[in-house]
Amino acid sequence: MKKTILVIEDDEDILESIATLLTLHNFSVRGIVQTTDIISVIINLKPDLVLTDYILPGLNGGQICQMIKRNVLTSKIPVILMSAYHKQAINIGNFGYDAYLPKPFENKKLISLIVKLLE
């Protein structure tokens, strides 16, 4: 059965690129650009992994990560936080994410990171 990955990214071009890449690697991809009612979306979707951008309209990636990790229904879901900002520049802090992926990234690195977290 295909693993479902939720991608939260406000830049549609990046979202499409990632979706194409993950589909190619046999993942089921669900992409969203808005963070409205994000926790309900996750609870309903029950993704195997969440890949989120940090800078988003509305809630940011760190806050989404915290919500996922604090909710018993979603806390087991691995979260990858990605950003074009350097870690220190945006002072990401400890939101409980499982991995940080700086943009722009190597496709191989994203895939290996996802595979590793899904094991």
Give dist(CA 2, CA 94) in Å, integer. Answer: 30
Cis peptide before 104 (omega within 30 of 0): yes
Question: Which one of the spans 40-48, 64-72, 81-89, 92-100 is the region binding another protein (CB under 8 A)?
Answer: 81-89
Q: How far is CA 28 from CA 62, 74, 102, 108, in A?
A: 24, 18, 23, 17
Output the smallest distance, CB 74 to another protein, in A: 20
5 contributes a contact to another protein by CB under 8 A: no
43 contributes a contact to another protein by CB under 8 A: no
Helix (H/G/I), strand (E/B), else coil: 64:
helix
Question: Which one of the spans 37-45, 69-77, 97-105 is the region binding another protein (CB under 8 A)?
Answer: 97-105
Give dist(CA 44, CA 54) in Å, integer. Answer: 22
Q: Which is nearer to another protein, 39 or 72 (CB)?
A: 39
In the complex, the residues that contact another protein under the rule CB under 8 A are 10-11, 13-14, 16-18, 20-21, 24, 55-60, 63, 83-86, 89-90, 103-108
